[in-house]
Amino acid sequence: MFSIDAPVDIQNSEYCNYRSPLSTRYASKEMQYNFSDQKKFSTWRKLWIYLAKAEKELGLDITNEQIAELESAVHDIDFTKAAEHEKRVRHDVMAHVHTLAERCSLAAPIIHLGATSCYVGDNTDLIVIKHGLELLLPRVAAVIKQLAKFAEEYKSLPILGFTHFQPAQLTTVGKRACLWLSDLLMDERALSRAKDDLRFRGVKGTTGTQASFLQLFKGDTSKVRALDERVAQLAGFDKRYLVTGQTYSRKVDLEVISALSGLGATVHKMCSDIRLLASRKELEEPFEATQIGSSAMPYKRNPMRSERCCALARHLITLHANAANTHAVQWLERTLDDSANRRITLAEAFLTADATLLTLLNICQGLVVYPKVIGRHIAQELPFMATENIIMAMVQNGGDRQVCHEKIRVLSHEAGAQVKQQGKDNDLIDRVKNDPYFAPILSQLDSILDASTFIGRAPDQVSEFIEEEVNPIIVKYADILSKVEKPVTLNI
């Protein structure tokens, strides 16, 4: 039998309990609070107050004193007593109903009046999701703004493009950053749409028919509808789901997590690119003066921030399947096999996205470019890319294209052998210069090999893209960006 041989009291030491890295290392305090017990259960109490207020407005026998008593206890939660009740009744909502009733004896008879557990559970989840998206979206905008500055600064700096991770025609550092930006704009749109589409479950009863509320209001269907509208309004929602089962459809969770998962894919792609470029020493994430890259190799500057982003993003991507499977197995009006899963999946999706964006913003605030290394890499490949331009120049000077093509082909293969077999630099241009056949165009070689002539409209594309598509998003978040774009210091 397995036994624990621990030198400390594992029951009372916080370091002997599992603690999520999302809360101890990665996610912000704001997002952690959003998914905290304090936020959850104080929101339950607010929802009971909203229900009581709306029921009173519509004629039920509820007093101002009862509501005031509930309001005085919103944040005063006896978690120990609630845990004791839950251990006895095995029901989290009823445990908190009893805890609040003991605190508010005057209001006890009207707490949770006509409601089912999902009234507080589901509506709280929707409020927490809404607040989570409101925390994430400005972080996305801050990354977009920082990356846009980077793209504008380096919009004209030529760099090797890659297809199949093989050197291809040149692009620019700024244009490549715009590819990352384009994906981030799609993520901002998806997250904004998820937030704007979010509605309130409202007061729907045990199977969504509102039967209990119809009984409370003696068959007055207009008052039941008004109650649903008023509670949603008090909770800060102008739209509600008109039809639900016992729960709001878990398709809503799927839509939200799909957007978060899509953000994960964007970040993973971007940070993988940064890791590849760091390996080529062309671009580097921030590296602090006292930072250690390797315990055994002191010279190393590992891209640990980008690696962290990729690790977190991969987890975020996988949560999409969890949400999809949970929605798929919700039989009829609901089953309870969503509950334990959602406690983990919803929180981890938002905390992981939050941690990923914090790290990504830190990266974007300190990206370093090494133009001389980039230039050296271009010099190694550009002679091959310039062969067509050399042929065109020779033809314009009276040469025969087919003859020129064959000469360039032979010289290119010879130069390629020097690079691949001898490990030497690309000497194609020296071979061209030493061949009398190319004498008519030797004076043009410098201009033919000017890297800036190989980047097409990349600089203009960057400027147009930022002006037309990026800046409107930055303006959209202008009022709040100053609070989230301050230099990010990572916890660890």
Q: Which residues are designated catalytic?
A: 164, 294
Per the listing, tokens 């938002």 go with 350
- H-only helix segments in 329-433: 339-364, 371-385, 387-396, 401-420, 428-433
Residue 376 has a CB neighbour count (10 Å cut-off) of 13
Residue 368, SS3 per DSSP: strand
Rounded CA-CA distance 313/318 in Å is: 9
Q: Residue 301 and residue 368: Cα distance in Å, rounded? A: 13
Q: In angstroms, rounded to a whole number, what is the distance separating the alpha carbons of residues 171 and 168?
A: 9
CA distance 217 to 210: 11
Q: How far apart are CA 357 and CA 30, in angstroms?
A: 13
Q: Residue 86: exposed, middle, or buried by beta-carbon count in 10 A (0-12, 13-18, 19+)?
A: middle
Cβ 154 vs Cβ 177: under 8 Å: yes
**DSSP annotation of 369:** E
d(CA 80, CA 91): 15
